[in-house]
Structure 1
Amino acid sequence: MKKKIAIIGTDPRLNFLQQSVSEYLDTQLYPTMTWDTELRETIFAYEPEVIFLPIQPIQTDCSLELPPSCQTLFIGKTNESIDRESKKDTIQPFYYLEDEEWIWENANLTAEGFINYFYLYEKQAIYNKKFIITGYGRVGKRLALALHHLGAEVIISVRSELQLYEAKSSGYQIVTLDNVLDQQGEDAYLVNTIPTKWLNNEYAASFSRVFDLASNPGCLLDNENNIPLNYSLSTSLPGMYFPQDAGQLLARSVLKHLAF
């Protein structure tokens, strides 16, 4: 008999996750981002051994209590309620956003998604444009490579001396994050991959456009008021443009962890 998995969330990737694991698991998809009494009763009645929570933390209208049948809990971003349930002795938590294979493959999709996003909203070629990428983690590296192959001028900006010279050894121009504003101008696009607030709103307005690929709250120091017109919070690009590929990527992470 197949194990049961309850997949919770509204992200379009989850439809393809469900399809991809259905050969191995009995699946139910609950398209909601809120844990309420109705969802709780439905999942308790289903008695899944595996529960997959959405990437963004699920909101709670009642106490988040998982059924006794739950043995494995797949967690994206967490919160206090999720943390409390994941600490139960009967539940094995798996933080799929920390799966190294998923991180690198998702970085590839993010880089390709950004290119599509740029074409759609800028309606310009990437060739011969200047892109300053802040951050040189997985997404920064994959994006730098993709833009470079399309003929862009790529500048990497980080605080880490190790990453700075790693980027230089790969053939990119470099500038420290403290001096990145020296590169500002109407001909420069800033692409942020650093998941923290570091950029003054006034300085952000001096670039041609700021594309923020980092998760909420983004890179702006003041992201509630006076948001520059040239600022775009461009998150969840894999789910936006490639839900099938991104969903199948999640499925591989799930099946690998469950040893299928």
Structure 2
Amino acid sequence: MKKSDIRTFGIIGGDKRQLFLAKSISDSCYDVLLGGFDRLESHGSLSLCNVKKAISESDALIFPLPSIRTDGSLNTPFSNENILLDGDDIEIILKKPVFTTMKSRFLKAYPRLSDGEIFDYGARDDFAILNALPTAEGAIECAMREYEGTISGSKCLVAGFGRIGKILAHKLVLLGANVTVSARKPSDLAYVKALGYNALNTENLRTVKRFDIAFNTIPKLIFDRELLMNTDTNTLIIDLASLPGGVDFDTAEKLGIYAVRALSLPGKCAPKTAGEIIKTTVFDIIKEVYR
């Protein structure tokens, strides 16, 4: 297949991100079929259809984040149906490029598709880096909603100095927060200090005292029972880590600590930007693979 052979994209399921993704692709002069959106009466000039038609009449398919539910059905929040791919669907899908997320989970549900061209756009660094910005902004929006004070003048802990932690710490400082960042790597701790943040070694994080808000970005149980028992009860904890997360929520509730699980923030807080990020990543993959 050549890049020029792709004229119609089938977008299968998803939330508002996929609707903005569809609009952005359409604006780039491609045809778009939206499958699994039967709860919508219309969506501008875009074609709404059932999943089977979107699969059969498109040149390439884009599945959402996450692509499937735990029962193997497609992630179609805008549909009242529980949609599963059947044998006919799979035979058609095998003949065209598929762009999805959580590829291993997708293929576990539909192992026959292992013989196809399956690209995991969610596993790419460029996708993760671009998504860090709306995630950070969404985390701050969550803090503004849940914290009874202002971000300006607040004492914030950012656990983790990865993609999200870097951007989140920067945005918090711009809003006037006093920011402490915890990290493990000596190089990360050096960057934290060089950028003017207070630094803590995550390995030595035994107490969370005198912080108004603590943001966790580490996909590991950091706020376990021991740490929560040494956390101020008036500290708001916002967990940004993917499931199973980094906070023992049951213990936090028992101790009277307010903890919020903030997942899929790009789709909730900035679906337009998130949709455009998916498009950019998918189109970059197409440029790399199909000349």
Tell me the TM-score normalised to structure 2 length: 0.75
* Alignment partner, residue 244 of structure 1: 272
- Kindly tell me: are residues 4 and 242 of structure 1, through their superposed partners in 2, closer, same or farther at Cα, counting changes over 3 Å? same
- Kindly tell me: are residues 43 and 19 of structure 1, through their superposed partners in 2, closer, same or farther at Cα, counting changes over 3 Å? closer
Q: Is the 8 A contact 1:113 1:237 kept in 2?
A: yes
RMSD: 2.7
Give the deviation of 1:97 after TM superposition.
1.8
- Kindly tell me: are residues 139 and 85 of structure 1, through their superposed partners in 2, closer, same or farther at Cα, counting changes over 3 Å? farther
* Alignment partner, residue 34 of structure 2: 29
For residues 1-260 of structure 1, what are the structure 2 equivalents within 5 Å?
3-22=7-26, 23-31=28-36, 41-44=52-55, 46-59=56-69, 60-61=72-73, 62=84, 66-68=90-92, 70-82=95-107, 84-88=111-115, 91-182=116-207, 184-185=208-209, 187-201=211-225, 203-204=227-228, 206-207=231-232, 208-220=235-247, 222-223=248-249, 225-228=250-253, 229-259=257-287
- Kindly tell me: are residues 41 and 246 of structure 1, through their superposed partners in 2, closer, same or farther at Cα, counting changes over 3 Å? closer
Tell me the TM-score normalised to structure 1 length: 0.84
CA distance in 1 between partners of 2:211 and 2:16 (Å): 35
CA distance in 1 between partners of 2:29 and 2:252 (Å): 47
Q: SS at 1:58's partner residue?
A: coil
Q: Is the 8 A contact 2:147 2:236 kept in 1?
A: no
* Alignment partner, residue 40 of structure 2: none
**Number of aligned residues:** 249
- Kindly tell me: are residues 116 and 196 of structure 1, through their superposed partners in 2, closer, same or farther at Cα, counting changes over 3 Å? same
Q: SS at 1:246's partner residue?
A: helix
What percentage of residue pairs aligned between the two structures are identical?
26
Q: Is the 8 A contact 1:21 1:255 kept in 2?
A: no
Give the deviation of 1:4 after TM superposition.
2.7
Unaligned runs of 5+ in 2: 38-49, 74-83
Unaligned runs of 5+ in 1: 33-38
Q: Which has the higher strand share?
A: 1
